Structure formats: C-alpha cells, structure tokens
Chains A and B, each alone.
Chain A
C-alpha cells in the first residue's frame, strides 16, 4: 500500500544552518505531496505542497521538489531560525481524500 518514510529525529541545528529532512514515498498512481508543520501545542498546518512530478513547493524559505524518479520530496531550508523549531510531517495525498503521514521529524534550532 501507499506509505511515507521520513528521517528520524530529532534534528538539532544551530541558527543559520542548512536544513534537509529526507522524505521518500511509495504510491500507486500520481499522488500529491505535502509538508505539514506542527508548532508546540498546535495542530498541523500546511507548509508547502506539490501536485505533480518536478513541481517545487515553497513557503517561508522552505522548499521541496517532487522527484518521481527517486520517489522523494525532501524538505530544505538554507538558513534556519529558532522559530522554525517544530515537528515536520511529510504526507502523501492518495486516491480520493486520504492523506498518509510520515512519522514526523522533530527539529530543534539553537540560538
């Protein structure tokens, strides 16, 4: 069945460091791919998305490119801030309405 695998955390970085969180997926058909972010004490909110191969989603300095050949959707940011500390979820929009989430990666950014 469809699934999402993302790198385990926690990831700890210093402010202004480069961030990569790896995400790979398994799916039949042509899914959409998402990154959601969960700040402490809050629900998930959409960070970015891509709906077809080679699309790049971007928001708040974060980017991810839908790579069909490697079935990947890695999240990157060139310079992280303390305020980026959160849990990041890679997700796959499967057939119909179902969203399949990865296990989440916790990011800590130190000042």
Chain B
C-alpha cells in the first residue's frame, strides 16, 4: 500500500530536549516536505527536499533541521524545542512532476507535538 509513515503520532517533551520525528515513504517520490498545522493558519512549510542530499528552507524553518540521506526517509529534527513549536506536524511526498503541473501531495497521519 502506498503510504507516508510518520512516527511518533503523539509526543510530549520538555523545553530543550532534542527530538526527532521520522518520516518514510514507499512510493519512490523525489520530493518530500514538512509542514506544521496551526489553527487559523492552515499548513505552513518548514523544509523541503527535492532529492537525496538536497534540502531547502520553507516558510517557517527557524528551530528545525532536516536531512535526506536516503530517498525514502526525511526526518525532522528539533535540536532545542520550545513551547512555540507545539503544533501538529505533517510529512508529505510527491512526484518530481511538480505541484504546478498537478502532482498531488501524499501526507502522513501527523505527529502531535507538545512542548512544555
């Protein structure tokens, strides 16, 4: 089954304790990205990757890191989480066709992160 898998689904952590949210896709997609979803703001892109070892900042990258060592995996790293990073996070992947050409994004089920 084609899917994007995120782990964990729920995470409560303390300020400053490094954490990683994993993301894996089995569709051989070149493009992967991370979003955060906050009430009234929709989805905002954090980072994206166009292929292995190619990553770039999205609209709200501060406080986050990513890596793309393998095509299927795209982990999101919070080196020193703060309460303003409490949010719902989604990983997504899509073909290299590009969204302007109609390529849809496939989303994981989300990770609800609470930083206290």
List A residues at the B interface (Cβ < 8 Å): 4, 29-32, 34, 36, 41-46, 49, 51, 89, 93-99, 101-104
> Within the complex, which residue of A4, A29, A43, A51 is in contact with B107, where a contact is CB–CB below 8 Å?
A43
Complex CA–CA separation, A44 to B105 (angstroms): 9
Residues of A within 8 A of B45 (CB): 98-99
Number of A-B contacts (CB under 8 A): 69
Asked if B76 is at the interface of the complex by the 8 Å CB criterion, the answer is: no
List B residues at the A interface (Cβ < 8 Å): 4, 31, 33, 35, 40-43, 45, 48, 50, 90, 92, 94, 96, 98-105, 107-110
The verdict on A51 contacting B101 (CB below 8 Å), with A43-B109, A45-B107, A89-B43 known, is: yes
The verdict on A101 contacting B42 (CB below 8 Å), with A43-B110, A46-B104 known, is: yes
> Within the complex, which residue of B48, B90, B102, B109 is in contact with A32, where a contact is CB–CB below 8 Å?
B102
Residues of A within 8 A of B96 (CB): 97
